[in-house]
Structure 1
């Protein structure tokens, strides 16, 4: 998939509330540190994982599934295997009327779910990470993943 920087930037700028499906409470798991990063950047992160339902993470109660969310959600970020995307999408469409974006993490793609989501008016991003894209697009990382801070031997 190829997405323009302006498209990704627009999504990240307009998004305020993100449901992270498949989040872990283990700080070494990518789903944890991506959700934590997004929380630190000012997004409201609603964690979703039936294994940890009822526990607290980033000041929010972890929900078992998307049907338990009452607040308006702008984006669903999926940390599940590709074969689970259709069920996550169906649940999102049924319970999140304000949803604007379905975002699939690195390694997660589903062509049929993408067609269905786009047909429902959603923006769909596949095989990308919002943390990496945020860092790249807002000056924290270059495309290769390196920090953009200037390193100089000058005193």
Structure 2
């Protein structure tokens, strides 16, 4: 893989300045990784913004059908969607001028990640935000 993630210090700095995390693909099912990670991050004090069509709320927070529907500010988009959806997700992030995208562990789309970075976004790919937060910030 030619894509390089930011170094640990840059990731630590990012996680310390983020407040509002939009979680794309956040499942309402407690046994799903997206639910576990979002709930843990919420427990660490982050504001979680669920983004998933056809549900009203997750983790006590109003859910939105798409990033473009979110009414509040977004500091970071945490993606739990398959790699083939990343191009459209990055398009939305760029259009909304969002500062950072975190593409969860096991999801890789180098072209989309490089396009997001070229648009000025901080990009972390194929890493777990929960694991990195625990390792670098707690």
- Short-chain TM bin: over 0.9
Quick one: distance in 1 between partners of 2:26 and 2:53?
Answer: 10
Which structure's CA Rg is the greater one? Answer: 1
Q: Which runs of 5+ in 2 are unaligned?
A: none
Residue in 1 that maps onto 2:25: 22
Q: How large is the RMSD of aligned CA atoms in angstroms?
A: 1.2
TM-score of the two chains, using structure 2 as the length reference: 0.92
- Are 1:71 and 2:72 an aligned pair? yes
Quick one: distance in 2 between partners of 1:76 and 1:107?
Answer: 16
Runs of 4+ with >4 A deviation: none
TM-score of the two chains, using structure 1 as the length reference: 0.82
* Structure 1 position 137, deviation (Å): 1.0
Quick one: distance in 2 between partners of 1:105 and 1:14?
Answer: 19
Q: Deviations over 1:74-102 (max 9, x none)?
A: 100000011110111112222x33x2111
3-state DSSP of counterpart to 1:76: strand
The structure showing larger relative contact order (alpha-carbon pairs under 8 Å, at least 6 residues apart) is 2
- Are 1:81 and 2:82 an aligned pair? yes
* Structure 1 position 51, deviation (Å): 3.1
Quick one: distance in 2 between partners of 1:57 and 1:22?
Answer: 11
* Structure 1 position 59, deviation (Å): 2.6
Residue in 2 that maps onto 1:116: 115
Count of residues in correspondence between the two structures: 135
* Structure 1 position 112, deviation (Å): 1.1
Residue in 2 that maps onto 1:9: 12
3-state DSSP of counterpart to 1:64: coil
